[in-house]
Structure 1
Amino acid sequence: MFRKTTFFVLTAFMASIAGQSAMAVGDTSEPPRKTKTSTQCKNGKIWDTRKGQCVNAKKSGLSDDVLFEAARELAYAGQYDNAIKVLEVVSDQRSARVLNYLGYANRKAGRMELGMQYYKRALQADENYVLARSYLGQALVEQGRIDEAKVQLVEIRDRGGENTWAYRALLQSLGGIRHHY
């Protein structure tokens, strides 16, 4: 009985570690769910659950992780300039995740070249950040640069990201074409 229980606990622990390291590759999960940040807050404000209200991100004292997740939610909700305002408050402006979402928000707001610059900077910060590769590839598809987008798909696959949302999203942008790359 003890060995069986130990095996199950160890298996669950290993599964949780595997899940954490998969996320370390870079925000490869599905888009975030909407919260009060994206449904009620505007102008660089985010929802503070402790205070039960929208607060100015710059003055909030919230952690970088909370700020980042709020900015990510805002970006997916189409509030690109608001997402950028929140991202600018995150203390580590050179992190791949911040640079990537600055790229995403700028690209989606119609500032393609600026977005591309941020994606490249994100990949300079972490060449294994598969979500930045996916968004870069999607931007390349939007520009009609299909062969370059396929290179990013291969890079994601070769970096162990074939079973991620990042890979599937870029593959879908390419029309599901895998071929021999």
Structure 2
Amino acid sequence: MRRLLLMTLLLLSGLAHAELPETDWLELMPNSDQKALEAMPEISHDTPEANGTFNGKGGLKQEKGLPAVMYSAKTVSAMNGKQIRLGGYPVPLETDGKGRSTLFFLVPYPGACIHVPPPPPNQLVLVRYPKGLKLDDIYTPLWVSGTLKVEQVSNDLADAAYALDASKVRVVVDTDL
């Protein structure tokens, strides 16, 4: 009996530390937007920003003339308040006194902060992480876990349709793949 109790406690302990299942970025986008993206023509990346020339505010702001889905802030209401684990790449916004990122955008692919066009607002998540995370490289993929909120966020850099109060942020390691 004692052995069974010990095994049960070990199992429950392991479950308590288990991570949430991965949320796919497409789950943040309504079906109508997914279909519109699939039907979208190729977009030119021939811009001054793509060549490394930045002469305006904010690298993530949308340009005029893109298909409407590229501006979409339509959300999936069922995601509001949901505990999720989302993989992506950081775009740092604020750091604490120790140089740790406490506020950043999470984007679905590397380089979204320098490539034009950026992801639609419903594919950008503002992450609030008061503990902070030392970011040495924005091309390092992260797992971010916490409570997702449908929340419109706008700043000089970008517009986002979601915010996430992170309880855990960690670098993706080879064993995750």
Category of TM-score, reference length = shorter chain? under 0.3
**Which protein has greater RCO, CA pairs closer than 8 Å, 6+ apart?**
2
The structure with the largest helix share of the pair is 1
TM-score by length of 2: 0.27
User: Which protein has the bigger strand share?
Assistant: 2
